[in-house]
Structure 1
């Protein structure tokens, strides 16, 4: 698997090094993605967090910052940071991803609206290590939740 990833990365890099100069010469510089389009409006609904104050529905607007989100500026800053790193903050866990079998609780969140000119409809949970990490990456857009305790098990 690792060998295939390395070979794929090398082939992609080789393809980009051949096509990018031609693209620049033919049509000018490559477009730079926008960090904020001014039309970023999201609705964040959280439930079963274990904190009645965190179970709510908020609106979040970025560029300019607004809405009813309790930490709107920090949430917009985090989304901008993730976009600046080339990450899609709303992407689901990839199919086939190996994840720890750790349960982070019953909390769920749904984010809908538009971000950087595209529609968003993302669901977040805490059912395994990948989902917990995905949730934590989205704080403070999503509320900070405590780590669920690891329960001991008995061997027979």
Structure 2
């Protein structure tokens, strides 16, 4: 005899379904939504001058800035968290994307790094852009801090 008759399958589905009017606490443990938390770092552009200062022969290194971005809801210490989360959502979590924006051909390198999770998926991104215009065109508000 086949245990998978239509009647047996229907009975199994009805037994497994929650009762009508069941409360949320009857449904079992609540699974949290996947989170988005990224640590974002921007290094550069270089100082305005490349000439050594009179006190030193070394050129100062570009300053690094780091913030934390959280989404769903937008937060962290990113000053444009709402826009950065919207840019990540629009690109399905890709930090860098194609852009038709034309930038000036001035080499003033900017290095960026993104580490963490986007909707529960691991993110590890590092790249150098030729200048801050290229960075903004390719990453939107993600590194705008």
Point out 4+ residue stretches in structure 1 off by more than 4 angstroms: 132-135
In structure 2, relative to structure 1, the CA distance for the partners of 1:75 and 1:42 (3 Å cut) is: same
Name stretches of at least 5 consecutive residues in structure 1 with no aligned partner: 1-36, 94-101, 145-156
Aligned length: 93
Measured in 2, the distance between the counterparts of 1:92 and 1:46 equals: 17
Tell me, yes or no, if structure 1 residue 119 matches structure 2 residue 122: yes
Name stretches of at least 5 consecutive residues in structure 2 with no aligned partner: 1-32, 48-62, 99-104
Q: Paired residue for 2:141? A: 140
Q: What does 1:1-156 align with in structure 2 at a 5 Å threshold?
A: 37-50=33-46, 55-83=64-92, 88-90=93-95, 104-127=107-130, 133=134, 136-143=137-144
Measured in 1, the distance between the counterparts of 2:130 and 2:107 equals: 6
Deviation, 1:116, is 2.2
In structure 2, relative to structure 1, the CA distance for the partners of 1:104 and 1:140 (3 Å cut) is: farther
- Give the RMSD, CA atoms, in angstroms: 3.2
Q: For residues 71-112 of structure 1, what are the alpha-carbon distances to aligned partners after superposition, in whole Å with 9 as ceiling and x for unaligned?
A: 1111111111112xxxx513699xxxxxxxx56422101000
Measured in 1, the distance between the counterparts of 2:96 and 2:140 equals: 15
User: SS of the counterpart of 2:40?
Assistant: strand
